[in-house]
Amino acid sequence: MREPTYLILTALASGPRYGYAIIQDVGELSGGRTSLLPGTLYTALDRLAAEGLVELDREETVDGRLRRYYRLTPGGVTALEAETARMRRLTTAAETRLRTLRPQTA
Amino acid sequence: MPVTSDPLARRYRRLLLCYPRAYRRARGEELLATLLEAAPPGRARPTAREAANLIGHGLRARLGRPRSRSVVTWAVFTAVICGLFTAALATRLAWETSPPMPDRAEAAAILADVLPGQQFAPGEIYPAETLFAIYGEPLSLNSVNDLLFGDGGEYALTATGASRTGFPSLPLDQTAAVAEQRLRDGGWTVYPATHNDMYGCAGPPCDPATIPQDTRLFAKRGNTTLELELYPQQHADSTYLAVSLSRTTPAAVWPAAVVGGLLGAAMGWLLFGWASRRTQAPHPVRVPVNVLFGVTMGLWWLPVLFTVPFMVEHHLGEPHPRWHPLWEWLGQPVFSLFLVAGCASALLGLALALLPSRRTQPQRVATT
């Protein structure tokens, strides 16, 4: 799973979000490193919807602008959990090796 | 999407035209709202990054199949080959801006200047009647068989020619040296002479050093090219000298290739995208269309992949005052049967894609 996809799923993990809110959330989650543009976001949402990982929650019109809220499907939750576990295993392995490396380099 | 007076919204809408119409109908307002919300106050124009992003993702959306990562690769293959073929067609049309091949008078004047020792009577000069010919004749319905079934390579640029047979009055080395000097003095660009074996070894014993070599001299001046071939004389009725006068590539060919190529690539992308969107699962003819697409790509790409290495080797092997026309690099019309069969396969695939799909395109985000 690519990082922007992971960040979008993570943004939706705390509840339904609409387009711009997802962009903001992804920016915050990545510490400003990932700045999604709307074109990229909607291509990713199309793909995630086709894969059954996200779905439409509801629509609202605010100040004359259409907002569609998206949420994770159960499959999306599972995919996010699996990816998070995979990354955790990797970071744990990296931390373990770094701990063994530090005393030698100190 | 409704019309707006906001200049930024208007410009975003213009960029959203890169997305297919059905997609704009389904997602346009939402996408525009997100773009406007993400834009800082006071911005009147999309940034270059935003514009590139919308164009890129809009063109991607035209391919449909959002889950597929390979669809972009196939679309690129399609766009490139369509662009190459339309560029080749455009260059052929642009060749019509070329002046006719040198006539007898022009050829006689050049030959008298370059080969003063050889006096060609007007009847010894054979002017080309057309720019391109197959077996000496312009392309016509009668040439379809030759063109399609193995003799397409005979379709080539013509040249006004003259030759000499018998015994040379001067040693050929001297003729070549005089011609080269006269060409340079006459303002011609002269390319290094090449020498090739007249024949290969038939079998041992064979000493390659004993094989006679021809001499070929290429030159260019203005819109005229000259090729002088000198063959070590072997028989009383053998040709020992041949001159061809032809035309350089007209200037209009280059812009025509670029414009034709870009238009063809865009058309290829749009047609591929249209068929790809229409045949997204669960379309009843998805598999046959995919197969026909594969057949088309094979029939179109194989001649190109087969021909290009030979053409590169040939171009590097001898001087070229004029590059071979683009279609020859694409293996055309030698492999024109492949091209025609590929066109038939593509048209059949497009016709099948016209059959109604089992659901509305494009895929919408599911509601619950």
Q: Which residues pair with B215 in a beta bridge?
A: B195, B230
Q: Is A60 on the interface with B (CB under 8 A)?
A: no
Please give the C-alpha separations between residue B180 and each of B150, B197, B217, B241, in angstroms, as whole numbers: 38, 21, 8, 14
Model confidence over B69-94: pLDDT tens digits? 899 999 999 999 999 999 999 999 99
Q: Tell me what pLDDT residue B139 has.
A: 87
Mutation pick from A40, A46, A60, A66 vs chain B, by most beta carbons of B within 10 Å, is: A46
3-state secondary structure labels for all residues of chain B: CCCCCCHHHHHHHHHHCCCCHHHHHHHHHHHHHHHHHHCCCCCCCCCHHHHHHHHHHHHHHCCCCCCCCHHHHHHHHHHHHHHHHHHHHHHHHHHHHCCCCCCHHHHHHHHHHHCCCCCCCHHHEECCCCCEEECCECCCHHHHHHHHCCCHHHEEECCEEEEEECCCCCCHHHHHHHHHHHHHHCCCEECCCEEEECCCCCCCCCCHHHCCEEEEEEEEECCEEEEEEECCCCCCCCEEEEEEEEECCCCCHHHHHHHHHHHHHHHHHHHHHHHHHHCCCCCCCHHHHHHHHHHHHHHHHHHHHHHHHHHHHHHHHCCCCCCCCHHHHCCCCCCHHHHHHHHHHHHHHHHHHCCCCCCCCCCCCCEC
Residues of chain A positioned with their CB less than 8 A from the CB of B50? 37-39
The percent of residues above 90 in pLDDT, for chain B, comes to: 67
Mean pLDDT, range B47-60, rounded to an integer: 95
Q: Does B36 touch chain A (CB under 8 A)?
A: yes
Q: What is the pLDDT at residue A104? A: 60
Query: Above 70 in pLDDT, residue B363?
Result: no
Whether pLDDT at B368 is above 60: no
Q: Which of A38-47, B164-173, B189-198 has the lowest mean pLDDT?
A: B164-173
ipTM: 0.88
What do you get for the CA distance between the two ends of chain B, in Å?
A: 25
Question: pLDDT-derived band of residue B195, with 50, 70 and 90 as boundaries?
Answer: confident
Structure tokens at A3: 């990082």
Residue B5: the pLDDT is 67
Residue to substitute from A45, A61, A66, interface B, most B β-carbons within 10 A: A66
pLDDT for the residue numbered B346: 97
pLDDT band at B198 (very low <50, low <70, confident <90, very high): confident
Query: What are the angstrom distances between the C-alpha of B91 and each of B192, B288, B295?
Result: 28, 34, 26
pLDDT reported for residue B367: 44
Task: Map out the domains of chain A as residue ranges.
Answer: 3-105
Residues of B in contact with A56 (CB under 8 A): 365-368
Overall average pLDDT of the B99-107 stretch: 93
Give the DSSP letter of residue A3.
H
B170 vs B278, residue with greater confidence: B278
Average confidence score pLDDT of chain B: 90
Please choose, from the candidates A7, A8, A9, the residue with its C-alpha nearest in 3D space to the C-alpha of residue A79. Answer: A9
| B110-132 pLDDT per residue, tens | 999 998 878 888 788 999 989 99
Mean pLDDT of B38-44: 89
pLDDT tier at B170 (50, 70, 90 boundaries)? confident
What DSSP element (H or E) covers A67?
strand A65-72
Q: What is the DSSP letter of A36?
A: -
pLDDT tens digit sequence for A55-93: 999 999 988 889 999 999 999 999 999 999 999 999 999
Backbone φ, ψ for residue B206 (5° rounding): -150, 125
- pLDDT value of position B8: 93
CATH architecture of the domain with residue range A3-105: Orthogonal Bundle (1.10)
pLDDT at B366: 45
Write down the pLDDT at residue B88: 97
A105: confidence class by pLDDT, cuts 50, 70, 90: low
d(CA B257, CA B17): 26
Q: CA B39, CA B226: separation in Å to the nearest integer?
A: 62
Query: Which among B38, B53, B66 is the nearest to A20, CB-wise?
Result: B38
Quick one: pLDDT at residue B189? 95
CB contact under 8 A, B34 and A20: yes
pLDDT in tens, B213-255: 889 999 999 999 999 999 886 777 888 899 999 999 999 999 9
Which candidate in B13, B34, B36 is best for mutational testing of the A interface (most A CBs within 10 A)? B34
Model confidence band, residue B359 (pLDDT cutoffs 50, 70, 90):
low
Q: Which of A41, A4, A78 is nearest to B30 (CA)?
A: A41
Per-residue pLDDT averaged across B342-347, rounded?
97
Contact of A16 with chain B, judged by CB distance below 8 Å, is answered with no
- B284 vs chain A: nearest CA distance in angstroms? 19
pLDDT of B169 above 90: no
pLDDT of residue B96 exceeding 80: yes
The first and second tokens of residue B247, run together, are 């035309």
pLDDT higher at B233 or B49 = B49
Query: At residue B315, does pLDDT exceed 70?
Result: yes
Percent of chain B's residues with pLDDT above 70 = 95
- Tell me if chain B has a CB within 8 Å of the CB of A4: no
Per-residue pLDDT at B358 = 62
State residue B289's pLDDT score. Answer: 93
